[in-house]
Structure 1
Amino acid sequence: MNGASMPLPAKIRREQIYDLAKTTGLASVDELSARFEVTPSTIRRDLALLNEQGKLARTYGGAMPLEPHPEASLLQRAGEFYEEKQALARWAADQVQPGEHILLDGGSTVGVLAHHMRIFTDLDVTTIGINSLQELGGCPGIRLTCLGGQLREMSQSFYGPLTELGLARMSFDRVFLGADAVSAEFGICEADHVQTRLKENMASRGTHVYVLLHSAKVGQRPFHAWANLPRPWTLVTNSDAPAEQVQSMRDQGITVQLVDTGAGTPPSPTGH
């Protein structure tokens, strides 16, 4: 809802619809109707006009931006939501037990988790992320393996057939994934289908699978590539995540762990 007693002027409403499509991924006609306090037929006319202007492409039940949503680099994402990522990483690190085999995805939040794992004294860690390699390289208590392949510059992580070939020969006690977004309706969102296939392959190799994602990404649809992870898996996000998304995921059998910012404690140097 826009919070006003009267609906926005049509021109402003259409500008906001276009901005919404570019920034977070466009909602459905019904969601836009509720958000802007107008009828679904009004929203359909807005989308049709934006389509005529070359700004949006119509899809079933909504529309999508013709301009691709810009993907942030790992460096850009590293400075975002610092406290939230720290809280998620502390909780995740506390789940790991001595002697386990761990798989770490690329991404900024998983990189923070790698930092919290530096004090572990008996652990096998495999990763595709350069940031995790930098964090854990040289740690005496960690036996570190890199899944090589083609380097993806934006995420500073490896992917491709060589990465997947290595995965096919390994299994893990715990798999920690990142994501660009998550939706109760569609699953795990990434910038392209190469990444979503890799996420699914990584998840299939683990006994316990976690997706670490700060709450601003829950319920968003910035791209059009999705991964359906094998269940069970756990979404680890901050406690201010949208309640309807959290409940919908739980209704689907997905475990959702809500973490307060600043919650959790670093793992014990002796126990982990």
Structure 2
Amino acid sequence: MSSAAARARRERIVTLAEDTGLTGVDELSARLAVSPSTIRRDLAKLTADGRLARTYGGAMALTTAPAETPLHRRTAEAGEAKQAIAALAATHVGAGQTILLDAGSTVAALARALRGSRGDLTVVTPSLTAVVTLSHTDGVHVTCLGGAYRPISQAFVGPLTEAALERMTFDAAFLGTDGVSPELGVCEADTEQIRLKELMARRAHRVYVLAHAAKLGAAPFHAWAPWQPGWTLVTDAAAEPAQVRALRARGVEVLLAAPAAR
């Protein structure tokens, strides 16, 4: 293949990485119709040139992150997968527990799944969406964590939210994320959200990260919370096996939600 074709292919790789944040060898091989070994050589060249950063099984863009997507738009994405994840996550909530629900569309799906009677459940959340969803549910006691309101995520963040969390503990925390990396952890749009997420995790006995399959290997932003021992990822059955294996190799328990029966 000519050097011009190779250069064009590498430019395409950089564009794809910038569009998605992070892209994998197998995906690039299929999309560009070349062998995985060719892709690996391309990634090595692009990394040496400072165009990309190598990750497990792929590469991550180094350019400015895309704009954060508003919650109302994210709610419409991967609806069936989020419902399946929420249904599986709900089986890990027991009667009499005190749980923490993060912001995000998949965690909002869990809030909807908890509307059935669960027997004296306490839900603490910074998510206005979760508060509204559970506000009239019998047997569910809701506490809203106040703070600075972020309209784009319909949730509260900041020092007041963190101060309230410091005075609570939880049987389980259910966290949302914008992306999942075996190497880097879970991704958010900014460090303020990451700091809040890490505090949530420290105050909980069990931590569940809810993310549909398309988020595995995605790195849309540059703020990360590293994986911690005992964290569990709940995703759907469409997750790439290579991503699941890499996460489990990092010590992350991975639960795969089966699609609802039709």
- TM-score normalized by the length of structure 2: 0.85
Residue 155 of structure 1: CA displacement?
0.9
Counterpart CA distance in 2 for 1:43 and 1:211 is: 30
| Counterparts in 2 of 1:162 and 1:26: CA distance versus 1, 3 Å | same
Aligned with 1:38: secondary structure? helix
Q: Percent identity?
A: 44
| Counterparts in 2 of 1:243 and 1:157: CA distance versus 1, 3 Å | same
Query: What residue number does 1:38 align with?
Result: 38
| Counterparts in 2 of 1:206 and 1:6: CA distance versus 1, 3 Å | farther
Counterpart CA distance in 1 for 2:159 and 2:102 is: 16
Q: Which runs of 5+ in 1 are unaligned?
A: 264-272
Query: What residue number does 2:181 align with?
Result: 183
Query: What residue number does 2:61 align with?
Result: 64
For the Cα contact (< 8 Å) 1:17–1:26, is it kept in 2?
A: no
Structure 1 residue 143 corresponds to structure 2 residue 138: no
- TM-score normalized by the length of structure 1: 0.82
For the Cα contact (< 8 Å) 2:191–2:223, is it kept in 1?
A: yes
Residue 243 of structure 1: CA displacement?
1.5
For the Cα contact (< 8 Å) 2:125–2:145, is it kept in 1?
A: yes
| Counterparts in 2 of 1:205 and 1:10: CA distance versus 1, 3 Å | same
Query: What residue number does 1:16 align with?
Result: 12
| Counterparts in 2 of 1:95 and 1:47: CA distance versus 1, 3 Å | closer
Which aligned pairs between 1:76-155 and structure 2 lie closer than 5 A?
Answer: 76-120=73-117, 121-155=119-153
Task: Pick which of 118-127 and 99-108 moved more.
Answer: 118-127
Counterpart CA distance in 1 for 2:218 and 2:42 is: 23
Match of 2:244 among 239, 243, 246: 246
Residue 216 of structure 1: CA displacement?
0.6
For the Cα contact (< 8 Å) 2:227–2:252, is it kept in 1?
A: no
| Counterparts in 2 of 1:32 and 1:93: CA distance versus 1, 3 Å | closer
For the Cα contact (< 8 Å) 1:129–1:157, is it kept in 2?
A: yes
For the Cα contact (< 8 Å) 2:47–2:54, is it kept in 1?
A: no
Aligned with 1:247: secondary structure? helix
Residue 23 of structure 1: CA displacement?
2.0
Query: What residue number does 2:255 align with?
Result: 257
Counterpart code for 2:19: T
Counterpart CA distance in 1 for 2:63 and 2:229 is: 33
Q: Point out 4+ residue stretches in structure 1 off by more than 6 angstroms.
A: 5-8, 31-36, 60-63
Q: CA RMSD in A?
A: 3.0
Tell me how many residue pairs correspond in the alignment.
Answer: 253
Counterpart CA distance in 1 for 2:36 and 2:260 is: 35
Residue 89 of structure 1: CA displacement?
0.5
Match of 2:21 among 5, 22, 25: 25
